[in-house]
Amino acid sequence: MELFLEDSGSAISALTDDNGQFHFAQLSPATYRITVTAPACETFQLTTSLPVTDPVVVRLHKSAYPPTPRNDSVVFVQELAMPNKAARAFEKGTRLLLKGESEASLPYFRTVIEQVPSSYRPYHNLGLALYRLGQLDAAAQNFQKSVDLTNGGFSPSLFGLSMVLYQRSDFHQAESLIRRGLLVAPASGVGYYCIGLVQFSLGRISDAERSAMEALKLDPDEADAHVLLARIHERQHNPSAVLTDAQAYLKLDPNGALHADALDLLHRAQQDISRVSASLN
């Protein structure tokens, strides 16, 4: 369960106890948006003023769709239950997407969607390809379709949709979506990286640093988190840490999308270190 305070953009979450009850202590009087998610159940949302004198009772309804994966592991063809033609198109599109050929992957995912419109994963992959091409409106539509088909049970689509909102500077809504995704996949390095980006943009630097560190703890190969840490440490006037962060990114992903950003951070940190060294001599 998540409570989101609209005025401040802050959010807190909790898991149920053995009796299915949620407990939040010392809530300030305010209007909160309540979001409750559970596997194989429809997402419940309610906006209300808290605290209240009577308990808030939530009854979840079973989803009409089967449960979906709780992480971003590879979905094999046999798991997708697709006709052979659609399965081949999905495989081809996914290979192109992984190679960075987003434009070329589009017709393959669209072919799968035409043949198997009830499958969530081609919508997700199409959304990802469109996002990388900068087509944010179309990307959002496809991420949202994946979210709808899975009733919010596939966290990567929630994270993808949140990044569209992030690009539009809708940081509070982006954070809310990411927290929904982390309730589904609490060990997602990608999720913690995404929320770190949002927290940094909101000026919550300490929170962003903790999130970036958690992303790397959960997934040491989450190279982009090193660039986020470099930006954080640059804001904290710590050029030695920026140098370490940028070098870590360039080692992990030398041809990555943030290569130019990492080099800029690296050069600025070297200049800062040189200036400090010169002033001491």
Domain ranges of the chain: 2-50, 72-185, 187-281
DSSP 3-state of 167: helix
Six-digit token pair at 242? Answer: 């920026």
Six-digit token pair at 129? Answer: 């390809």
CA dihedral 260, 97, 121, 180 (to 10 degrees): -10
Six-digit token pair at 158? Answer: 């929630």
DSSP 3-state of 79: helix
Mean pLDDT of 126-145: 95
pLDDT band at 83 (very low <50, low <70, confident <90, very high): confident
Question: Cα–Cα distances in Å, from 199 out to 27, 169, 172?
Answer: 22, 12, 9
Cβ atoms of 40 and 62 closer than 8 Å = yes
What was the pLDDT predicted at 54? 60
165-215: per-residue pLDDT in tens?
A: 999 999 999 999 999 999 989 999 999 999 999 999 999 999 999 999 999
pTM: 0.72
- Architecture of the domain spanning 187-281: Alpha Horseshoe (1.25)
Six-digit token pair at 199? Answer: 């927290």
Sheet containing strand 2-5, edge to edge, reads 10-13, 2-5, 30-36, 44-50
pLDDT band at 99 (very low <50, low <70, confident <90, very high): confident
DSSP 3-state of 49: strand
What was the pLDDT predicted at 41? 54
**How many Cβ atoms sit within 10 Å of the Cβ of residue 103?**
11
Distance of alpha carbon 232 from alpha carbon 193, whole angstroms: 13
22-69: per-residue pLDDT in tens?
A: 655 556 676 665 666 554 455 555 666 766 666 666 665 554 433 333
What was the pLDDT predicted at 9? 45
Classify residue 26 by burial, with Cβ atoms within 10 Å: 0-12, 13-18, 19+: exposed
pLDDT band at 18 (very low <50, low <70, confident <90, very high): low
pLDDT(278) > 50 = yes
* DSSP secondary structure letter of residue 28: P
What was the pLDDT predicted at 73? 39
Cβ atoms of 41 and 60 closer than 8 Å = yes
- Does the domain formed by 72-185 have CATH 1.25.40.10? yes
- What are the DSSP calls for 208-255, one per residue? HHHHHHHHHHH-TT-THHHHHHHHHHHHTT-HHHHHHHHHHHHHH-TT
**How many Cβ atoms sit within 10 Å of the Cβ of residue 139?**
23
Domains 72-185 and 187-281 share a fold: yes
What was the pLDDT predicted at 255? 87
Amino acid letter, residue 265: L
Average pLDDT, the chain: 82
DSSP 3-state of 3: strand
